[in-house]
Structure 1
Amino acid sequence: MANTSINSISLKAMVDKASNQIIFVESDNDFIDVIFSFLTIPMGKIIRLTPNQSIRLGVGCLNNVYASVKNMDLKHFRTEACKDMLLSPRSAAESQCKNLKVKIYNDEATQYFMCSLNIANCKFSYCKDLNCDSCGVKINMEKNLLVTPDGGVFVKGLSRLIITDDLQVIPPLTAASLPLLTKLGVMDVNTMEEVTINVGVDEVLNLLMRSLASKTPLTESLLKNKPRRKFCNEYQGINTEPQMVKDKTNLEGTISVKLIVSKSKKMVCYAEAGEDFVNLLLSFLTIPLGFIVKHMGNRSLQGCIDQLYKSVQDLDDQYMMSSYHKEMLLTPKLVPGFCYENHLLGTEEATYYYAGSTGFLSTDRVLLATQTALAPKSISPFAPSAFGRQESAQTSIRPIAFRDPKANHHQHKNAQVQGFLEGPAMFTVTDDLNIRPVSLIYGLSLLNELKVPLTDIYVQTVQVHEEEALRLLVAAFLGDSALTITFIRESEQDKRLNQEQ
């Protein structure tokens, strides 16, 4: 399977002639890597890459959070970099995705920078010209991430797999595919025809969009068929209880929020909250898609991105580049700087390693050690260590600290950054997560728009812990009544438990 052009892949698809629907696509690692990479993309980047498509994306009301950041005055942010980080969040899988055959955000800068002293406790950043906290020198020496030299991404180069219309990825073995074909109602091979399809950036973006909102994304994006179902972001009794992976009794970092609730409609009209709650909402834009799907558990989705996630889980390790790469898809981490102190979602930042003898930078320590050992000693002007002796390939590799661009010049260098917004500040947050600076006039206009009289409202104070934060993330991804679903309406699971009791 050869590329027909730069940033393009040629695919062979089996199509049902009667319905003009893709039954499956057979592909080597090129196309598999592209669709697996969807799980590593932060939500803010997905929304930014598909302008004017948010309503059809199946991202609930996260598009409103994104629009709120765009419209928010820069004075509300700790630093200018904070707004940029939210509008174009970076992925910890950047170095791997540089090898994708179709790059959907190839034009974006992914450079990193270090200070020129290069001593053991110096830091790196993706923002240029910040002062290093350790030595005070400007961080302006560019360092690109180490890329796998053989062009691999997530799946081994010789792997060949099939992808169904709903993004199940399985080996192309007859024993594995027969049950699938039977399930799809394909009984006669004469009803199928082979079709060659060229897949470029537009097709991949369309596939990403439809994977979040359709059960037949391959057909709709690659055969240019019209959607077979209406897209809907309305909450329809979907269980939004998150799949918890941590101790629910952890009560650290509690956030207090005041909800303005309609008695008759049993809905949150809006919330009044401090910058700590809004920081949580803004952080949703930095969360990789795979993290959300992981916490969805077995919940029903409009689209089939959960099928893709499950395919990675079930795929035999023999097809993957390594267990590290599989973990990168199933538990994607954030680029340093996107977490902050008391971040309730339980996300983790990726660890970056630096090889002082070669100047290589990577999140993959095994790859870094291998390439450092193979590299000529003269490749880096920094081969001698800060202490004047030659470093070995192994001893030169170390975790490297990060200079947080959220930290402003008023902040002590060792102080923990609390979030993206300057505080103290208060905000009005609508049920569908539109965010504005607090305003009584705006609040009254919302009540008027909802046709809720003042006599019908009451104020309810809620506490947000990790469980509520994850539930809110899931609700924001699924529907457009995130606050109501999270804090007022019982989930279907809660109802069943109460009935059983």
Structure 2
Amino acid sequence: MASNPLTLKLLINKQSNHVIYAESGKDFVDILLSFLTMPVSSIIRLTTRHPKIGSLNSLYESVEDLDVHYMQTKACKNMLLHPRSAAEEQYENLVIDIDEDTNPTEYYVCPLWVCAYRTHCLVSTVANAKCRCGQVMHRRLYRKKGDDGIDGRDGGFVKGGTGFMISDDLNVFPVSTSKSLELIRKAAVSESTVLEQRNVNVGRREVLHLLNCMLHSKTPLTDVFLEEKDMVDGINLDLNVMNLNLKDVGVDFNDIAQPQTEKEIETETDSKKVSLKLLMSKSNNRVLYAEGGEEFPNLLFSFLTFPLGSIVKCLGGTTTMGCLDNLYKSVEGLNNNDYMRSEECKAMLLDPKLALHFGCQNQLLQIEEQVPYQPTLSVCESCNCFGPYIKDYGNWICSHEVSKVQLSTLNPKFPNVVMEHGGAFMAGPAMFMVTDELIVKPLSPISGISLLNGLNINNNDLEERFVKVGKEEALSILKASLISKTVLSDVFSSKKPQQKYIMLYGKKFPFP
């Protein structure tokens, strides 16, 4: 993947020292839209964890501190701290390598030829996994660029040859004079002499800064580029546009993306809900911490694997995080045929999937996994060998006729040989405590007492409540975790303990 700087053209209001909008081609917009496909853990790691993203940083640090024996496998901890993206192949086409510390997915097969090709036909994305035959799967295979069937000459998400405008709050539009005038008027520009064109260089540093500002600011372009010193040039513009009416240039306000309608919460059985015991402060109606089995940390930690776009979709386009919602709605407003490379690319941004095997069996929010990749091995039965690539047959030199076999990918969340979806990150049975800020630790009465002492809570002020976490509560926790340091209190403190009922003679009566 290349990491070449690119140039962005800014229109600036010198009077207020704000970016009105930026003009760019495909390369910068592809980078901007790729943010929607990035898992939360990757963003926390890349933005050096400052400023914090609500309470999600607490979850990330909890995984770092948690002993691996609380996980189903050693791979689970790495999957949570370095989750894969289902759009990984698209990243290869970006001009700037955003996550240069993460290598493409690696594939390993059994070193025994007959096992890899004929007996078990297994492949692992984790080195040194155990094959069904007992051998360690350490023979590495390589996936060549373009194996996904996407034309690498025009990769990414949007079509080449099209210009785009990006407002300071990250609304993305096709280039348009009418839209330019609208943004200038919105910026309350009174004199054309206060407008300036400025070209700035954009490298990895600026991209990461923009990613961070997108989540915390309403003016990320201004925050990133007007404090930079390496500008290419500055040109004063003398535009005679102040007396034009937007109707004169045909502004169509129907082109502006509208917010999504609120999602309905589906009904679910109690068997799928997660039970929690909350320790509350009666005086301020605050959750001090929650106690529960491994199912609750498994739910919370799974948030770290969610792509940003899937979170926006789950919450109906109302995350209230910086300009993230604007970026998402911009994709909704871009016409498939004119600007997006394909319907698949648009869906990859608006409904990004989890990478293969990153979904959990009892995931309450039910974010889908990507369609399983079907690795194929090229083999030669005459000389008992196989090629170094998967799903590639043309570049392997063998004098004999080669055949191919489809491999089954192991699910790294299972300690034994399993190819099916599902599973969980956390091992059980185990009990955990979760603080209001979503710090997760193994349950320890001593740790609980230390926490209460630190908060200066009197024993007489304590109250226990029992709640169940279903889809509705999981969505509320997810939304609060993006922006709050008191997640459990935000979700549960206003709720009274759930009333229990008893059935007598076909009627339901409150149970004391």
> Matches of 1:145 and 1:347 in 2, distance apart?
28
In structure 2, the partner of 1:181 is: 184
> Matches of 1:146 and 1:162 in 2, distance apart?
30
1:182 Cα deviation (Å)?
Answer: 1.7
- Cα separation, partners in 2 of 1:251 and 1:333, compared to 1, 3 Å: farther
Matches within 5 A, 1:193-232: 193-224=196-227
Any unmatched runs of 5+ in structure 2? 111-115, 229-260, 380-390, 496-512
- Cα separation, partners in 2 of 1:486 and 1:254, compared to 1, 3 Å: same
In 2, are the aligned partners of 1:248 and 1:467 still within 8 Å (CA)? no
Alpha-carbon displacement from aligned partner over 1:349-407 (angstroms, at most 9, x marks no partner): 11133374879xxxxxxxxxxxx8xx8x63357999xxx9967xxxx9x7x64311121
Q: Find the residue that maps to 2:206 and give its secondary structure.
A: helix
Q: Find the residue that maps to 1:212 and give its secondary structure.
A: helix
Matched, 1:403 2:419: no
1:135 Cα deviation (Å)?
Answer: 9.9
> Matches of 1:252 and 1:348 in 2, distance apart?
21
Q: Find the residue that maps to 1:268 and give its secondary structure.
A: strand
In 1, are the aligned partners of 2:124 and 2:137 still within 8 Å (CA)? no
> Matches of 1:406 and 1:136 in 2, distance apart?
19
Q: Find the residue that maps to 1:14 and give its secondary structure.
A: strand
Which AA in structure 2 matches 1:76? Y
TM-score, with length taken from structure 1: 0.81
Matched, 1:51 2:48: yes
Pick the aligned partner of 1:378 from 394, 415, 421. Answer: 394
In 2, are the aligned partners of 1:312 and 1:326 still within 8 Å (CA)? yes
Q: Find the residue that maps to 2:409 and give its secondary structure.
A: coil
In structure 1, the partner of 2:357 is: 337
In structure 1, the partner of 2:63 is: 69
Which AA in structure 2 matches 1:96? Q
> Matches of 1:303 and 1:378 in 2, distance apart?
48
Any unmatched runs of 5+ in structure 1? 226-241, 360-371, 491-501
1:174 Cα deviation (Å)?
Answer: 1.4
In 1, are the aligned partners of 2:410 and 2:417 still within 8 Å (CA)? no
Pick the aligned partner of 2:162 from 147, 159, 176. Answer: 159
- Cα separation, partners in 2 of 1:316 and 1:126, compared to 1, 3 Å: same
Matched, 1:9 2:29: no
Report which stretch shifted further, 110-119 or 481-490: 110-119
Q: Find the residue that maps to 1:379 and give its secondary structure.
A: coil
> Matches of 1:52 and 1:27 in 2, distance apart?
29
Alpha-carbon displacement from aligned partner over 1:143-200 (angstroms, at most 9, x marks no partner): 3264342142001111210001100001111123322322221344322111110011
In structure 2, the partner of 1:469 is: 474
Pick the aligned partner of 2:314 from 295, 310, 317. Answer: 295
- Cα separation, partners in 2 of 1:425 and 1:356, compared to 1, 3 Å: closer
Pick the aligned partner of 1:277 from 269, 287, 296. Answer: 296
In structure 2, the partner of 1:319 is: 339
In 2, are the aligned partners of 1:250 and 1:466 still within 8 Å (CA)? no
TM-score, with length taken from structure 2: 0.79
> Matches of 2:377 and 2:122 in 1, distance apart?
16
1:54 Cα deviation (Å)?
Answer: 3.7
1:413 Cα deviation (Å)?
Answer: 3.6
> Matches of 1:51 and 1:88 in 2, distance apart?
14
Matches within 5 A, 1:477-496: 477-489=482-494
1:451 Cα deviation (Å)?
Answer: 2.5
In structure 1, the partner of 2:509 is: none
RMSD between aligned residues: 2.9
1:251 Cα deviation (Å)?
Answer: 4.8
1:488 Cα deviation (Å)?
Answer: 2.2
1:412 Cα deviation (Å)?
Answer: 6.3
Aligned structure 1 segments of 4 or more residues deviating by more than 4 angstroms: 118-121, 132-137, 380-384, 388-391, 414-417
> Matches of 1:417 and 1:149 in 2, distance apart?
32
> Matches of 2:478 and 2:144 in 1, distance apart?
30
Which AA in structure 2 matches 1:11? L
In 2, are the aligned partners of 1:43 and 1:286 still within 8 Å (CA)? yes
In 2, are the aligned partners of 1:163 and 1:169 still within 8 Å (CA)? yes
Matched, 1:105 2:102: no
In 2, are the aligned partners of 1:243 and 1:294 still within 8 Å (CA)? no
Report which stretch shifted further, 106-115 or 278-287: 106-115
Q: Find the residue that maps to 2:216 and give its secondary structure.
A: coil
Matches within 5 A, 1:103-182: 103-115=97-109, 117-118=116-117, 122-132=121-131, 138=137, 140-144=139-143, 146-147=145-146, 148-182=151-185
> Matches of 1:101 and 1:212 in 2, distance apart?
22
In structure 2, the partner of 1:436 is: 441
> Matches of 2:454 and 2:155 in 1, distance apart?
53
Which AA in structure 1 matches 2:193? N
Matched, 1:264 2:283: yes
Which AA in structure 2 matches 1:354? Q
In 2, are the aligned partners of 1:258 and 1:459 still within 8 Å (CA)? yes
In structure 2, the partner of 1:350 is: 370
In 2, are the aligned partners of 1:166 and 1:215 still within 8 Å (CA)? yes
Which AA in structure 1 matches 2:200? I
> Matches of 2:145 and 2:450 in 1, distance apart?
53
> Matches of 1:177 and 1:382 in 2, distance apart?
59
Q: Find the residue that maps to 1:458 and give its secondary structure.
A: strand
- Cα separation, partners in 2 of 1:382 and 1:253, compared to 1, 3 Å: farther
Aligned identity (percent) is 39
- Cα separation, partners in 2 of 1:436 and 1:259, compared to 1, 3 Å: same
- Cα separation, partners in 2 of 1:90 and 1:216, compared to 1, 3 Å: same
> Matches of 1:414 and 1:223 in 2, distance apart?
51
| Equivalences, count | 442
> Matches of 1:438 and 1:176 in 2, distance apart?
56
> Matches of 2:143 and 2:420 in 1, distance apart?
28
